[in-house]
Amino acid sequence: MEGIERSRKRSRQREEILAVLRSTKEHPTAAMLHTAARRRIPRLSLGTVYRNLDVLEEMGLVLHIRNGNAQDRFDGDVSPHYHFVCDACGAVLDMPLPYRPELDEAAAREGFRVRGHRLDFHGTCPACSKP
Ligand code: ZN
Ligand code: MN
């Protein structure tokens, strides 16, 4: 009985984290997700958020954007799309360019079995570029 309760609690936490992630275009950090999800689950710990993000990534429901020196970001939109990372404000934005399957095909011609590709543009976002 305890086990069932625990697994219910776990899946509720996972669903809440996924719901928060799917409700935003901000590509939040784990800490940002933790703050937002705690409104619904007050006792949620940051460690639990990280563990759930790992599980959700493994399930293919979450995109993990590894960000070099900056904090990693997470995306609830797992459709193929590109990102822009702003050097000035740190924002991670969706890049409104179509996915380029010809890059996958070109890589496949080099003998690789290609599942897909990801592309992050870097520079200054439109808001930070304004004089
Ligand atoms: Zn910016
Ligand atoms: Mn995105």
For the segment 18-76, what is each residue's pLDDT rounded down to a tens digit? 999 999 999 999 999 999 999 999 999 999 999 999 999 999 999 999 877 778 999 99
d(CA 25, CA 5): 33
Check if the beta carbon of residue 57 is closer than 8 Å to that of residue 64. yes
Question: How far lies 68's CA from each of 1, 56, 75, in Å?
Answer: 44, 21, 16
Question: How far lies 32's CA from each of 4, 8, 27, 101, 114, in Å?
Answer: 29, 24, 9, 33, 33
| For the chain, percent of residues with pLDDT exceeding 70 | 98
pLDDT, greater one: 11 or 77:
77
Neighbours of ion ligand 2 (CB under 5 A): 75, 77, 94
Sign of the Cα torsion 26, 90, 60, 81 reads positive
Closest ligand to residue 125's CA:
1
User: From ligand 2's centre to the CA of 120, what distance in Å?
Assistant: 10
Closest ligand to residue 81's CA:
2
Closest CA to 27 of 101, 82, 98: 82
Closest CA to 122 of 80, 62, 68: 68
What domains does the chain contain, in order, with CATH numbers? Answer: 12-75 (1.10.10.10), 82-129 (3.30.1490.190)
Radius of gyration of the chain (CA): 17
Model confidence pTM above 0.95: no
